[in-house]
Amino acid sequence: MSETVLEARGLGKDFWEGQSVLTVLSTIDLAVECGDRVAIVGASGSGKSTLLHLLGGLDQPTRGTVTIQGRALSRLRERERALLRNRTLGFVYQFHHLLPEFTLLENVAMPLLLRRGVSLTAVRQEARGLLGEVGLADRASHRPAELSGGERQRAAVARALITRPALLLADEPTGNLDPHTGEGVYELLLALNARHGTALVVVTHETRLAERMERRFRLDETTLSPL
């Protein structure tokens, strides 16, 4: 039995540039079920990041709705929206966005530390477990600058998963990596999908990687079409 994690209906975004309007997304419909693996490909500037930001509630649509686990984002106050995001979604970007002054363990633990009523010991244990899962168990006390690009991106994946999100939104997560290292990050995402049932929506330029996802879409001319 499948359960819908996220649903976008008639989702659109316009940007105003002076007097003229730029329609980046016209009307996008997309439903993501638990455990789904979705790839979105599209040329640079086609609106992929804009779409992921809307899906993740990081930006407001011009039209249409995003519903996450049955709750329409537009009906929530900013604080409730942030809570729903923290509980349901994980984000991975092209750039890792790890905080340079903190160790990997602290970086990975951060999203859980933002929750109330969690014990520090439990959080550290959870973060250690996840670092192990992404193959960085022996790097817990290192800082991001001491890691390779691939390791940093694996740490970013661990940080995104510490809240056990139902859905991971990834925006060109391998865009800054060489093909071999990128492949490793993909293997990791797929393994986590298989192990924990985390649904994946991954934006990528790399067709070879997109082919590993069971559902593929192309974003072009403001609309999303199945590939």
Ligand X SMILES: Nc1ncnc2c1ncn2[C@@H]1O[C@H](COP(=O)(O)OP(=O)(O)O)[C@@H](O)[C@H]1O
Give the footprint of ligand X on this chain (CB under 6 A): 15, 22, 24, 42, 44-50
Q: In the complex, what is the shortest distance from the CB of residue 181 to ligand X, in angstroms, rounded to a whole number?
A: 21
Chosen from Mg ion, ligand X, none, partner binding at 26 (C-beta under 5 to 8 Å by type): none
DSSP the chain: ---EEEEEEEEEEEEEETTEEEEEEEEEEEEEETT-EEEEE--TTSSHHHHHHHHTTSS--SEEEEEETTEEGGGS-HHHHHHHHHHHEEEE-SS----TTS-HHHHHHHHHHTSTT--HHHHHHHHHHHHHHTT-GGGTT--GGGS-HHHHHHHHHHHHHTT--SEEEEESTTTTS-HHHHHHHHHHHHHHHHHH--EEEEE-S-HHHHTTSSEEEEEETTEEEE-
Q: In the complex, what is the shortest distance from the CB of residue 186 to ligand X, in angstroms, rounded to a whole number?
A: 19
Whichever of 18 and 117 has its CB closer to ligand X, that residue is 18
Q: Which of 37, 39, 40, 49 binds Mg ion (CB under 5 A)?
A: 49
Q: In the complex, what is the shortest distance from the CB of residue 155 to ligand X, in angstroms, rounded to a whole number?
A: 23
Whichever of 17 and 78 has its CB closer to Mg ion, that residue is 17
Chosen from ligand X, Mg ion, none, partner binding at 45 (C-beta under 5 to 8 Å by type): ligand X
Task: Point out which residues bind Mg ion (CB under 5 A).
Answer: 48-49
